[in-house]
Amino acid sequence: MEDVKDYIRTIPDFPHEGIMFRDVTTLFLDPRGFRMAVDQMLAPYAGLRFDKVAGLEARGFILGGAIAHQLSVGFVPIRKKGKLPGKTIAQSYKLEYGEATMELHDDSLQPGEKVLLVDDLLATGGTAEAGIRLVEKLGAEVIGCSFIIDLPALGGRKKLESLGMEVKVLCEFEGD
């Protein structure tokens, strides 16, 4: 039986020496693999009602758009600072060296809306946590976080679960 992990290539020493980069573009290239990933990301939420899918920049846009289309709900992009044209709200988070900021249009969610947060990879959880906080600032509720890949050694899943989030992943890779 095929697994989404079979479609993901590993590129050694990218973007820095010692990093094993998990490249999902090979998964996206294959129509069967891409459909499998989208279907498996949706499966845990079958029968639940939610209003929007929020995707984290950048590969979360690809997944989030496909999932939102499948569910006939709206899609909300959560972007790096300075990329959205309208009025935004911002949330900063810590990186290994420094800080980054994610933004969300201030009118993209309504209080009480239910949101599924998606991205390709869960590492330290900083970006996902920023996305969750942005959704909550607008009064909406994240009902789940769905990722293709988890890197358990980096602790992102534990961080999100400590925030009360339900986290679903399709596969794991050891290391970083």
pLDDT number for residue 6: 96
Give the CATH number for residue 65: 3.40.50.2020
Q: Which domain holds residue 49?
A: 40-172
Is residue 12 assigned to a domain? no
96 labelled catalytic: yes
20 part of a folded domain: no
**Interval 63-111: pLDDT, tens:** 999 999 999 999 999 999 999 999 999 999 987 778 999 999 999 999 9
- The answer to the question of residue 96 being in a domain is yes
The number of beta carbons lying within 10 Å of the beta carbon of residue 76 is: 24
* Residue 49 annotated among the catalytic residues of the structure: no
What is the domain count for the chain? Answer: 1
pLDDT at 176: 59
Q: Is residue 93 part of a domain?
A: yes
Identify whether 75 is part of a domain: yes
Instruction: Indicate whether 90 belongs to any domain.
Output: yes
pLDDT of 33 reads 97
Q: How far apart are CA 69 and CA 75, in angstroms?
A: 8
- Residue 167: its H or E element: strand 167-172
Which one of the listed residues 22, 59, 133, 157 is annotated catalytic? 59
Q: Which of 51, 19, 43, 2 is nearest to 173 (CA)?
A: 19
